[in-house]
Amino acid sequence: MKNDITFKEINIDDPEFNEAIEIYNNSFPDREKRPLNDLKNNIKEDEKLFIGKYNDSIIMFSMIWEIENTDYLFLDYIAVKKEYRNKKIGTVFLKNIFNIFKNYNSIIFEIENPEEGENKGQRIRRINFYRKLGAQELTGFKYFLPPRNGKSERMLLMILSGNIDITVNGKEIENILSLIYKHIYHRDEDDITLKNIVNGIPEKIYLK
């Protein structure tokens, strides 16, 4: 089946958009979802929306942002339609990501912290999915989503790369996270959550 899936980029005016957003709405908890208008505005600016199709049905949704002036991509979202999960569809897409974005060699992404929520088993399975692809966790500091309704959830940050060492430069990650907060979450450099994050970033970040 996975060899019969086609991936393509779409925009908000394409007829497949609403079906892709349905996968998004059914795949993520409310605390991780952003308003639809925010997603549309990000796509209008420079974020890429991809779908996976099988037998003319949309079965995968992903949003990716090329982080300016870096060799990093930000994996904003990726989700597979419920009845098609556990068929390595997300794996196929992510293994081909650097063929799609040829000027990049690393992906950074947020993932639920298994120590923070009730669905610990599900969170661990998601982490293991990425680890099987070779992803590693950034350690040595705490990362939080921007708060909604007064609450901010602690997340983990992971990197998937074709060219990675046991450490990454803290200043580089500080810059990347500031850009993510600005372009993805529309927060300025004075955002208190962002300040608390970057103040805790060490000079050298170890991966595990």
Pick the last residue of a domain from 84, 102, 120: 102
Residue 147 confidence (pLDDT): 84
Q: Two tokens at 128?
A: 């293991």
Which residues in the chain show pLDDT less than 70? 1-3, 117, 149-150, 164
Residues 75/68, Cβ–Cβ less than 8 Å: no
Residue 2 confidence (pLDDT): 55
Residue 3 confidence (pLDDT): 62
147 shares a domain with 92: no
In total, how many domains does the chain have? 2
37 shares a domain with 127: no
114 shares a domain with 43: no
136 shares a domain with 59: no
90 shares a domain with 27: yes
Q: Two tokens at 96?
A: 């081909």
Q: Two tokens at 41?
A: 């505005």
**For the domain that residue 45 is a member of, what is the CATH number?**
3.40.630.30
The parent domain of residue 160 ranges over: 105-208
Model confidence over 167-181: pLDDT tens digits? 899 999 999 999 999
- DSSP string of 47-95? -EEEEEEETTEEEEEEEEEE-TTSSEEEEEEEEE-GGGTTSSHHHHHHH
Model confidence over 187-201: pLDDT tens digits? 998 999 999 999 999
Q: Give residues with Cβ within 8 angstroms of 198, minimum separation 6.
A: 174, 177, 178
160 shares a domain with 149: yes
| Residue 178, amino acid | S
143 shares a domain with 72: no
Residue 205 confidence (pLDDT): 95
117 shares a domain with 43: no
| Residue 26, amino acid | N
Pick the last residue of a domain from 86, 102, 118: 102
Residue 1 confidence (pLDDT): 58
Q: Output the CA–CA distances (angstroms, integers) from residue 129 to 16, 53, 86, in the order listed.
A: 27, 21, 10
88 shares a domain with 113: no
Angle between helices 170-183 and 192-199 (to 10 degrees): 170
97 shares a domain with 148: no
Residue 56 confidence (pLDDT): 83
Residue 19 confidence (pLDDT): 94
CA–CA separation, 117 vs 87, rounded Å? 26
Pick the last residue of a domain from 102, 120, 140: 102
140 shares a domain with 115: yes
143 shares a domain with 92: no
